[in-house]
Structure 1
Amino acid sequence: MLSFSYRLWMLPLLVVLGWVGLLPTSQAQTTELPLLPQPVQATTTGQVFTLSRHTALRVGPGLSAGPATRFRQYVRQVSGMVLELKPTKRRTDVLVLQLDSTAVPQSEGYTLTIDQRRVTVTGHDEAGVFYGLQTLSQLVPSGKADRVSLPGCTITDYPRFPYRGMHLDVSRHMFPVDTIKKWLDVLAFYKINTFHWHLTDDQGWRIEIKKYPRLQTVAAYRDETLIGHKRDLPHRFDGQRYGGYYSQEEVRELVRYAAQRHITIIPEIEMPGHASAALAAYPELGCTGGPYHTATFWGVFEDVYCAGNEDTFTFLTDVLDEVAALFPGQYLHIGGDECPKTRWKVCPKCQRRIQEEHLRDERELQSYFVRRISKHLATLHKRLLGWDEILEGGLPPAATVMSWTGEQGGIEAARLGHDVVMTPEKQVYFDYFQTLYPTDSLAAGGYTPLQQLYRYEPVPAELTPAQARHVRGVQANVWTEYMPTAGKLEYMVFPRLLALAEIAWSPPGGRNYPAFLQRVRTHDAVLRAQGVVPSRTYDWLTDSLWASPAGLPMLQLRATAPNGVIHFTTDGSAPTPQSPVYQVPLSIDRSCVVQAAVFEGATQVQPLYRREFTLGLSTGKPVVLAYPVAGSYHQGRPLWGLVNGVAGSPRYNEGQWYGFSGTDLVATLDLGDVQQIRTLGTHVLNYHWQKMWPPTALVFAVSTDGVHYREVYRHTQFPANGINPVRATIAPVAGRYVRVTALNQGTIPAGEYGAGGKAWLLVDELYVN
């Protein structure tokens, strides 16, 4: 029988009390305005301003009519009301826009005051006025109306970071200009001021370069596109030619459109790696001379630009000359990530370059490459921006690092005095799954739910105050391997972008996830009014697991849907409105299947939740590892997950897998006393396209004293692509200690993805019974 431990769950009630004003006044005042991102300071007055088509406009000196025009467009879009906004000096129902850098000393800052007679937006600069109008726009209710009521308030606001970025990859899948314009409108609405446009990669070259026409006719197209996830074998393809590019005229139009919304577009032209598409068009720029092909699937490819070939630098500087002329911003992104050195190591030209430039190795050759490009960008009055691999071999002066592999690259760069944009993969990649439900749509991997993203703090605690000033901001990235349509991309980006906006703009001390979630729900209608269909998965039922004092799994279920009630079962049957109501965490003391669903009345409103527990002699027992786990696969976390009764999923993103990079698994379990052991098992992952390899051998050994071990089972065949379950029934043997040894593949073999690198070994539950 399952047992229960009682616990009060007051947080949702507190959120409701705060929202309706039953908490102290200052707290209620800061939460009752549904603004995203949350302003620095906001108070309400109880007055109301009536906005109608006759509301007049007063524009102060030094301001253009552009911000007011876009406010007028927004009001018409969401309410149907056509504001006349005629200039006036006499009317009292007036919208006043003005500049005052003394009253508002912070760049991009503003004050917004609404009383019953007028609305006043005062900006430090025109960007500040623009952002004040975005805040005002969020106070305009959606729905057709001839006049709307705006709540009286006083808001003081300015950004935490000067760089607030959103990245979009159009190399894997591209999107129409009008669709990108819609997204730029939404970015501006939430005060994102940088659009990082990833224009070139292995799978397609997406920007017109007039001097090199084969970039348009060859590099912009691939023969076909992968179907399903790249880890699934055998690979399947759709057989459809795919591609296209943005003309320089279209680029100019988007740059102009973005600038009107105070968004800077930063182009990215990948080098020296991720060059398959360009090499397909100009094979003489590679180390082998080809032939090359625009990639039809996703990954890292060994063919890169030849660093010993002068024609490479002629080509790239010509390209950058044309690109720089299209984008007036200070930055130009050159990628610099995931550049295998395999070709360089055997290329005579590259080896000659290493000798002539007195470089130590291929890592310094990459640094030479980046430095040379950086010098050319300086002649174009551009600053180099690159992923954190540009740290390899040393950074060029004035380079800015975009830290994606984690935070360490950003920390190192800031300590060296370089500016940094934090964009760590595990925290702010929107191509990661939003839920752990197997029914959720395909994604690259990983798991970044809205709540986890909202908790991210871009300034690492390891930095001193002086070093922290080099953290210029934060950016989220979206890679479009599995986003072939605008609808799928919006599902992945929204509302996670709202969390990014608050991280980038608002003071960190005011973060409150339940209050944020309440505002997100309000903005669901706001986004839909702008033609964006966001995901609602943030309200789906989630869980957490921890060990009871006896080591048994404790299961807590959470549902944030305001009107939802959780019903659950433990016998594997589907829950109904007549099933027990979940109220307190469950203590799991036997093997079972817990299923749960959120209901509103008699209607199930979310997908079915399911968690299977398989308990045995090993459940909750102490585990000792000879070698530590690595990377994000439970590094630094308790080892209880190896004996918690829960197996990992094929998506390997739910926290049940433990990973070893190039090292063996050697785990010793202590069962507490001598037992009769009959069954042994675990699971291992075999995903070569994720650099995950099964062990060359999996060995179970048993001991009564912890010193002398006897091998009782050996397993060497792992044929399945994906999860390989191992369950061995042996002749009963007495033992207290069980040692599980999985021998790592070590180095990935030649011809395989990631050849020459360390193989990952992933295991989950260690089962003994």
Structure 2
Amino acid sequence: MSKMKNRFSLILSLVFFVASNASFAQSIAIIPKPVSVVLNKEIFQLNTNTTIVKPSASLAKNSGLLREALSSLTRYSFPISTQTKANYISLRIDSSKVLKQEGYQLNITKNAIEVIGHDEAGVFYGIQSLIQIVYQAQNNGFKLAGCRVNDYPRFAYRGLHLDVGRNLFPLSFLKKYIDLLTFYKINTFHWHLTEDQGWRIEIKKYPRLQSVSAYRDETIIGHKKDSPHRFDGKKYGGFYTQEEVKTLVKYASEKYITIIPEIEMPGHAVAALAAYPNLGCTTGSYKTATFWGVFDDVYCAGNDSTFIFLKNVLDEIIPLFPSKYIHIGGDECPKTRWKVCPKCQRRMIEEHLADEHELQSYFIRKIEKYVNSKGREIIGWDEILEGGLSPKATVMSWRGEAGGIAAAKQKHDVIMTPESHLYLDYYQSLQANEPTAAAGFTPLSKVYSYEPISAELRPEDEQYIKGVQANVWSEYMPTTKHVEYMAFPRALALSEIAWSQKELRNYDDFLVRLRQHRAILTQKEVNFFDRFEEFTYDFLMDKSGNTTVHLASTLPNTTIHYTLDGKIPTINDKVYSNQIVIDKSAYLKAQIFVGSKPYGQAFEQVFSYHKAIAKKVTLGNQPKAGYNPAVPFVLVNGLAGNSRYNNMQWVGFSGENVEATIDLESVQSISQIGINILKYHWQRMWEPNKLVFSLSEDGIHYQEVYRTSDFPANGINQISAKIATKKARFIKVQAENKGIIPAGEYGAGGKAWLLVDEIFVE
């Protein structure tokens, strides 16, 4: 009986140990994912007797940071010693044991924790992983699971950007931002300091940059696409003093963060021109911009005073920032003023420059030469490729990957930061109640899916991809809470792209760890977007017009209930399983349930069926750029594009006409034809000069049945033409593009976009 009792106790102990160890295993939720994590069977108890051991003075900073972090979590004191005792945390550098720069080894056993780094930064990043584990051990009395973590970064450059030109944020928030970067092993803060809407850094030689350029008279309300523009009537602005900059740079360096300043040139200069109008191409006055966009007024490239000014500015910037790079912008510089500026045209003749693109290259090279003379290098957006790339310039590839690939093939260093995946001012949800954002749709899953090493690169060129960065443009982020909402947790996905090895990245695994980091972000008082597990979906229409709907959520242990009549689903409505097939007009609503409770917001989609559904559409011109969705039957699938033009239903033509012919496959009676036209002049989206509907029975002889040039709405113009009933097999839709945007309008001289949506036939 005693043996049976002992055996039963042993089994219970084993069950308890396995369960406990499983719980501890779940607590090893490190972001970004380490190279390897191996659990052992030991447990380290963090308590009042725990000491921090630093064998060398070089680790005094790291040991102090560790003590500060642990004390804030545990309320223990953690004395620092040079001697090892029982229950200690030791920090040391051993480049023979940890071979990679910034790499570390974290060993947790019963009696000790060891953080071994290749260098000081490696020790620091090992500390960050340890602190993440401690956060997750708060609910079990700070019992830390025994493990060995081996880790090092994939890329040397791991960056997150913040634009303070449009909206200004206090120094206290910038410190919090830097703390979050370091916690997730991001090592570069790209500080975008000057813009059309505000100059944010003190330059003592030019006091009007502080008194004039740092302020705007008012700020636009709502989105730039709205028309007419509305303004708040409140003066807005401010700047960082050089002393504040020094404070932040020092603070960041102690956290192994490099701050790269960006001083925009030759474009995005309206605020500077407001203070010093002699630097522009025209003789008129300038005002700091009050709304967002790209402006024609830029620094005059033919004026020697421009370069004197910028060199003097750089003379004050460079001593403040010890970074290797000085970012000089170089993006979105219209050539409108240069083309008619006598000084710029004279400069082109004197320097034997073929066009204004080469003039921009001349501008960048001149600045680069000066920056190089100060022992630094320039970095710029991929427009600096235009007209020829400067010799030592590093390229930030933002307009897709093409610029980065081209630069790498030319043996230039590249930071990948494509707008398509890494612009965190884009919507992260398609829910209608999301706060105003710039455009697009970049959910967490899309950020995580980005791979910085393009398959188009040759193996010998991959070495020039030095890293990856996400950008936070602040036009629609007036508060620090809003910045946090847009940046997190997408910045955590960035950290894993930048740090973790490609073969180890797995989105489902990332979500398992991210769910545990919800509590950490909450404890750090980060106003993060917490609905990253809302619905994902796809619609696939077949040739017969049946639409197969697939719904999914990454949240485990859930069910999805749905309705097709527009009613909000309850736990008693249909359960989704595998797919839903739509074959007629319907209003789908779906809701995730955890147990009997709804989770998140309901998903909804209207399907409007008509005679042209799934019929062949022949286009005279092909759609362009991001408005060429690879969705079958996109113009005749019963799905409407939204006003944010980010749900992949709009078809866009740049400077070209729309000519779409639909074959109904048989002669039918037609009494109504419709189409949607998107009109946002402030986004370069123009209504057509005219819209014509024509019908034909044979596809050769067409009869016009409707014509209009009236598109009054700013936004979606729903055109629905009721006609006298006619027989037809073919419907032709012709819309004449505005062509070139007229003078005086936003984007004047450029090609107008013409965006169209669902062609409706009854």
Q: So what's the TM-score if we normalise by structure 2? A: 0.95
1:660 matched residue in structure 2: 653
Matched, 1:618 2:593: no
Q: Which residue of the partner structure matches residue 71 of structure 1?
A: 66
Give the drift of 1:64: 2.1
Query: Any idea what SS the aligned residue of 1:765 has?
Result: strand
Residue equivalent to 2:111: 117
> How far does residue 540 in structure 1 lie from its aligned partner after superposition?
2.0
State the secondary structure of the residue aligned to 2:440. Answer: strand
* Separation of aligned partners in 1, 2:446 and 2:48: 42
Secondary structure of residue in 2 paired with 1:676: strand
Matched, 1:580 2:550: no
2:724 matched to 1:710? no
What is the CA deviation profile of residues 642-688 of structure 1, one whole-angstrom value per residue up to 9, with x for unaligned ones?
11110111010111111111111222222222222222111010000
State the partner residue of 2:9. none
Aligned-pair distance for 1:28?
A: 12
Per the alignment, residue 44 of structure 2 pairs with 49
Determine if contact 1:363/1:393 at 8 Å carries over to the other structure: yes
Which residue is equivalent to 2:738?
745
CA distance in 2, matches of 1:60, 1:21: 36
Is this contact kept in 2: 1:696–1:744, CA < 8 A?
Answer: yes
**1:584 to partner: Cα distance:** 2.9
What is the alpha-carbon distance in structure 1 between the residues aligned to residue 137 and residue 284 of structure 2? 59
Greater shift in the superposed pair: 144-153 or 132-141? 144-153
Correspondence for 2:314: 320
Give 3-state SS (helix, strand or coil) of 2:662's partner. Answer: strand
Residues 1:726 and 2:693 are matched in the alignment: no
Deviation, structure 1 residue 510: 1.8
Decide which moves more: 620-629 or 191-200.
620-629
Does the CA contact (< 8 Å) of 2:563 and 2:573 recur in 1? yes
The equivalent of 1:642 in structure 2 is 635
Tell me the SS of whatever aligns to 1:39: coil
- C-alpha distance in structure 2 between counterparts of 1:518 and 1:290, whole Å: 58
Structure-to-structure mapping, 1:674-685, within 5 angstroms: 674-685=667-678
The one-letter code sitting in structure 2 at the alignment partner of 1:40 is V
Alpha-carbon distance in 2 for matches of 1:274, 1:49: 55
Residues 24, 145 of structure 2: 8 Å contact kept:
no
Q: Answer with 31-40 or 105-114: which moved more.
A: 31-40
Instruction: Determine which of 680, 683, 694 is the counterpart of 2:687.
Output: 694
What TM-score, normalized to structure 1? 0.94
Q: In the TM superposition, what is the alpha-carbon distance from 1:29 to its structure 2 partner?
A: 11
Distance 1:258 1:725 in 2: 52
Using the TM superposition, name which of 136-145 and 746-755 deviates more: 136-145
Q: Is the 8 A contact 2:100 2:118 kept in 1?
A: yes
- Which whole-Å CA distance do the structure 2 matches of 1:365 and 1:542 have between them? 47
| Counterpart-to-counterpart distance in 1, 2:140 and 2:313 | 52
Structure 2 distance, partners of 1:21, 1:488, is: 43
CA distance 1:119–1:144, change in 2 (3 Å): closer
SS at match of 2:519: helix
Distance (Å, rounded) in 1 between the aligned partners of 2:515 and 2:527:
13
* Aligned position for 1:4: none
What pairs with 1:233-382 in structure 2 (closer than 5 Å)?
A: 233-382=227-376
Does structure 1 conserve the Cα–Cα contact (< 8 Å) formed by 2:137 and 2:143? no
C-alpha separation in 1, matches of 2:88 and 2:640: 63
Indicate conservation of the 8 Å contact 1:623/1:639, yes or no: no
What are the equivalent positions in structure 2 for 1:360-759 lying under 5 Å apart?
360-548=354-542, 550-562=544-556, 564-634=558-628, 637-759=630-752
1:224 aligns with 2:221: no
Q: CA deviation at 1:574?
A: 2.2
Residue by residue over 1:710-761, the C-alpha shift from the partner in whole angstroms, topping out at 9 and shown as x without a partner, is: 3222222111100000111222222222222221111111111100001111
CA distance in 2, matches of 1:742, 1:306: 39
Q: Deviations over 1:598-643 (max 9, x none)?
A: 33455433223221110111111222222111111125x2442211
C-alpha displacement of 1:108 = 0.6
- Does residue 212 (structure 1) correspond to residue 206 (structure 2)? The answer is yes
Per-residue CA deviation, residues 36-95 of structure 1 (Å, 9 max, x unaligned), is 000011111131111123212222346321122212222233x24224232142412111
Q: Partner amino acid for 1:296?
A: T
Moved more, 682-691 or 624-633: 624-633
CA contact (8 A) 1:81 1:145 kept: no
Q: What is the rounded CA distance, in whole Å, between the counterparts of 2:58 and 2:151 in structure 1?
A: 19
Q: Which residue type is aligned with residue 742 of structure 2?
A: P
144-153 or 679-688: which moved more?
144-153
CA distance in 1, matches of 2:573, 2:268: 53
Larger displacement relative to structure 2 (744-753 or 92-101): 92-101
- Judged with a 3 Å threshold, the aligned counterparts in structure 2 of structure 1 residues 572 and 92 are, in CA distance, closer, same or farther, namely same
The Cα offsets for residues 101-150 of structure 1, whole Å up to 9 and x where unpaired, read as 12111111111111111111111110001001101111013586895111
Distance 1:107 1:144, change over 3 A: closer
Distance 2:521 2:18 in 1: 26
> Deviations 1:169-211 (Å, cap 9, x if unpaired)?
0011111111110110110000000000000000000000010
Quote the sequence identity (%): 52
Question: Is this contact kept in 1: 2:191–2:259, CA < 8 A?
Answer: yes
Could you tell me how far apart the structure 2 residues matched to 1:306 and 1:67 are?
A: 48
| Distance in 1 between residues matched to 2:272 and 2:108, nearest whole Å | 55
| 604-613 vs 641-650, greater mean Cα deviation | 604-613
CA distance in structure 1 between the partners assigned to 2:505 and 2:175 by the alignment: 30
What is the rounded CA distance, in whole Å, between the counterparts of 2:652 and 2:185 in structure 1? 39
SS of aligned partner of 2:745: coil
CA distance in 2, matches of 1:478, 1:511: 24
For the 8 Å contact 1:63–1:99, the answer to whether it is kept is: no
Unpaired segments of 5 or more residues in structure 1?
1-19
Q: Is the 8 A contact 2:679 2:687 kept in 1?
A: yes
- Which residue of structure 2 aligns with residue 156 of structure 1? 150
Alignment check: 8 A CA contact 2:558 2:593 kept = yes
Q: Contact 1:81–1:146 (CA<8 Å) still a contact in 2?
A: no
Distance 2:662 2:36 in 1: 54
Contact 2:59 2:92 survives alignment (8 Å): no
Between 522-531 and 719-728, the greater mean CA deviation after superposition: 522-531
1:62-211 correspondence runs (5 A):
63-77=58-72, 79-141=73-135, 148-211=142-205
CA contact (8 A) 1:63 1:98 kept: no
8 Å CA contact retained: 1:111, 1:123: yes
- 1:704–1:745: structure 2 CA closer, same or farther, 3 Å change rule? same
User: Cα deviation per residue 1:277-336 (whole Å; 9 max; x = unaligned)?
Assistant: 000111111111331001110001111111111111000000011000100010000000
1:495 is displaced (CA, Å) by: 0.3
Residue 202 of structure 1 contacts residue 295 of structure 1 at CA under 8 Å; is this kept in 2? Answer: yes
Q: In the alignment, is residue 35 of structure 1 matched against residue 30 of structure 2?
A: yes
SS at 1:446 equivalent: coil
Question: Equivalent residue for 1:767?
Answer: 760
Matched AA of 1:583 = S
Gaps of 5+ in 2: 1-16
